[in-house]
Amino acid sequence: MKNKKLATLSRVITVICGFALTVVLFVPLWQIELAAPQYPEGLVLKMYPNKLAGNVDVINGLNHYIGMKTLHANNFMEFTILPYIIGFFAAFCFLVAIINKRKWLLGLLVSFFLFGVISMFDFYRWNYNYGHDLDPNAAIQVPGMSYQPPLIGYKQLLNFGAYSIPDTGGWIFIGVGLFLLIAFIIQCKKKEKAVMKTVSKKAATALASLLIFGLMSCNSGPQPIKLGQDACSFCKMSIADKRFGAEIITNKGKVFKFDDMHCIAGFIKSNEVAKSDIKEIWVVNYAEPHNFIPAQKAFLFESADLHSPMGGNIASFDNESKLTDLMKIMKGQPLTWNEFINEK
């Protein structure tokens, strides 16, 4: 590859990226939100390049009871070196624009993506150690339970829902990576189409790897209901019979669990989560309680003989024949999801 000069647009993009990375030094990179019935307003942990912010003291107090280590920025080497690394990449962007050589832009792009991969791996390692290295003498101990926060997305930790997502600085980092990729692709046009295809494929592979690695911890679909551990998001009672359970998953991946169809109907009616923010609704298969059914595809059966936890007395089935079998031994009426939700 010849060491050609950069196009004007590529130089402008690298300069903008340099300024953007400078901004990252002063804004939070990541945040983890925690929500629980006793904290309806939620708790938040914000991670800056050099410090922790948000409800750190409250979170440390809660973590003490379950044996998790307290969080202090001076305990993590990353908070010491990260500002220098960010500053290095900001300076690297300005240097590339000044030197005006394509190989320098390629070096910046490759090193920046490598740093992104290493950072995500380090964050995952940090989360894993933080959630698994527990004090054996903690006041609250749940056998087999770990408290590893999600890398990206939502995860239920006992009665807390943890939602992890990039903050302002994190989104700037992602944007810088995409813009540097665009700047390099601009260099690979016209006479060098073959090079462009090769580099673009490699860059796309790197991007896809980053996204796949990050999304590995995201929730997809309903979560298993843990009897005696999970609490209904509406009535706040501990779930003791999963046969009548249901779940709502939001667009952000947050999961709300319910112990009765009466509760999920009340929750939807309360508008605590706007209908436009609801991504999926699942109901437990009464005949196979370890399985879930998309609510719209479920066959519902209402009968006073069911005696569900909160008096909804509605069972869900994945096919009509199972519902018909139950109707032979119980009096009641079949319902569709739309009929049920519109009645309530």
Kindly tell me if the per-residue pLDDT of 210 is higher than 90: no
Of 168, 200, 215, the residue at which a domain comes to its end is 215
Do 184 and 259 belong together in one domain?
A: no
Q: Which two tokens stand for residue 172?
A: 């700037």
Give yes or no for residue 201 having a pLDDT over 70: no
Question: What's the pLDDT at 218?
Answer: 47
In a domain, 47, yes or no: yes
Backbone angles phi, psi at 138, to 5 degrees: -65, 155
How many domains, in total, are found in the chain? 2
**CA–CA gap between residue 255 and residue 277 (Å, rounded):** 12
288 pLDDT higher than 80: yes
- Let me know whether 122 and 257 are in one domain: no
Looking at the structure, do residues 148 and 187 belong to the same domain, yes or no? Answer: yes
pLDDT at 161: 79
Q: Are residues 137 and 208 in the same domain?
A: yes
303 found inside a domain? yes
- Quote the tokens at residue 292: 């879930």
pLDDT of residue 128: 85
**By the 8 A CB rule, do 47 and 29 touch?**
yes
Same-domain check for residues 195 and 267: no
Residue 222 belongs to a domain: no
Residue 189 shares a structural domain with residue 260: no
User: Which of 80-94, 128-142, 202-216, 325-339 has the least mean pLDDT?
Assistant: 202-216
What tens digit of pLDDT does each residue of 218-248 get?
Answer: 445 788 888 877 889 898 888 988 899 999 9
pLDDT at residue 209 is higher than 60: no
Question: What pLDDT was estimated at residue 13?
Answer: 93
Residue 203 banded pLDDT, cuts 50, 70, 90: low
Residue 263: pLDDT band with limits 50, 70, 90: very high
What gap in Å lies between CA 7 and CA 335, rounded to an integer? 65
pLDDT tens digits, residue range 175-189? 999 999 999 888 876
Are both 179 and 290 inside the same structural domain? no
Quote the mean pLDDT of the chain: 84
Sequence-distant (≥ 6) Cβ neighbours of residue 278 within 8 angstroms: 248, 249, 250, 251, 268
pLDDT-derived band at 214 (thresholds 50, 70, 90) equals very low
Q: Is 284 exposed, middle or buried (0-12, 13-18, 19+ CB in 10 A)?
A: buried
Higher pLDDT, 9 or 70: 9
The proportion of the chain whose per-residue pLDDT surpasses 90, expressed as a percent, equals 42
- R_g (Cα) of the chain, nearest Å: 26
Q: Out of 70-84, 123-137, 232-246, pick the least confident.
A: 123-137
Q: Are 185 and 322 in the same domain?
A: no
The rounded distance, in Å, linking the Cα atoms of 15 and 94 is 6
N-term to C-term CA, the chain = 68
Q: Has residue 36 been placed in a domain?
A: yes
pLDDT at 164 over 50: yes
136 versus 332: which is more confidently predicted? 332
209 in the same domain as 84: yes
CA gap 9, 16 in Å, rounded: 11
Both 150 and 95 in a single domain? Answer: yes
Residue 231 located in a structural domain? no
Its domain, for residue 255, covers 242-343
Q: Are residues 174 and 301 in the same domain?
A: no
What band does 198 get if pLDDT is binned at 50, 70 and 90?
Answer: low
Among candidate residues 180, 215, 250, the one where a domain is terminated: 215
Q: Are residues 208 and 250 in the same domain?
A: no
Is 144 inside any structural domain?
yes
Q: Considering the domain boundaries, does residue 299 fall inside one? A: yes
pLDDT band at 293 (very low <50, low <70, confident <90, very high): very high
Q: Is residue 226 part of a domain?
A: no
End-of-domain residue from the set 215, 232, 267: 215
pLDDT in tens, 27-61: 999 998 887 777 767 788 999 999 999 888 888 88
Contacts of 297 (CB under 8 A, 6+ apart): 318
Q: For residue 211, what pLDDT is reported?
A: 47
User: Hey, is 102 helix, strand or coil?
Assistant: helix
